[in-house]
Amino acid sequence: MTEQHSVQQANRKLIKKLSLIVVGMFVFAVGVLPPMYDAICAITGLNGKTANEAADIEDAVVVEDRMVTVQFLADTDPAMPWDFKPNIFSIKVHPGAIQKVDFHVRNPTSRLIVGQAIPSVSPAQATPYFKKTECFCFNNQELNGGEEMDMPLIFYVDPGLPKSVRTITLSYQLYDITKSTEKGAPLAAN
């Protein structure tokens, strides 16, 4: 009888420890992995996401003897009815030189739509060196039905950009976020 009792006690102790692993791994998956992933991506630029805040304009030296091609892509989510395109598709810049380009959007529908553009830079190792001092992607954009506008992007390429990178592609995907703004759900800026 006492032996059975001690086995039960040992079982209970072991179950407690094992349950702790189970709960710990669930918390790890939901609460630790996503922020860890975001942090690693923010540091390394691995997923091509640029910073969601304006970069300081440093007195960066313009590197006159180097040229980098910057290409622009503008796409819309299938559920987003706006027309969206860059006014120029490609531009050559010197690292360190500040450049302004415009993206054109038009709301062909008859209702108000709120849009949010999500940037992505390729190749990933260029991401930390692509600095935006002003970008329409920092905020959401509102257009009434039939309205159109030019959205500005001001950027420079950090002279520290690895020598192997000669072309940077900046892609925007535009999403319809009208519903979530109505709900009052907090909007992630990026």
Classified as helix, coil or strand, 109 is coil
Q: In whole angstroms, how close is the CB of 27 to other proteins at the nearest point?
A: 8
Our CB check for other proteins shows the closer of 68 and 177 to be 177
Our CB check for other proteins shows the closer of 4 and 59 to be 4
Q: In whole angstroms, how close is the CB of 146 to other proteins at the nearest point?
A: 24
Q: Which residues of 43-56 are buried (b: 16+ CB within 10 A; e: fewer)?
A: eebeebbbbeeebe
Residues that bind other proteins (CB under 8 A): 7, 10-11, 14-15, 18-19, 21-26, 28-30, 33-34, 37-38, 41, 44, 46-49, 77, 116, 118, 122, 124-125, 173, 175, 177, 180, 183, 185, 187-190
- Distance (Å, rounded) from C-alpha 10 to C-alpha 151? 67
Q: In whole angstroms, how close is the CB of 17 to other proteins at the nearest point?
A: 10
Please name the residues in contact with 137: beta carbons below 8 A apart, sequence gap of 6 or more.
52, 116, 117, 118, 119, 153, 172, 190
Classified as helix, coil or strand, 71 is strand
Q: In whole angstroms, how close is the CB of 97 to other proteins at the nearest point?
A: 28
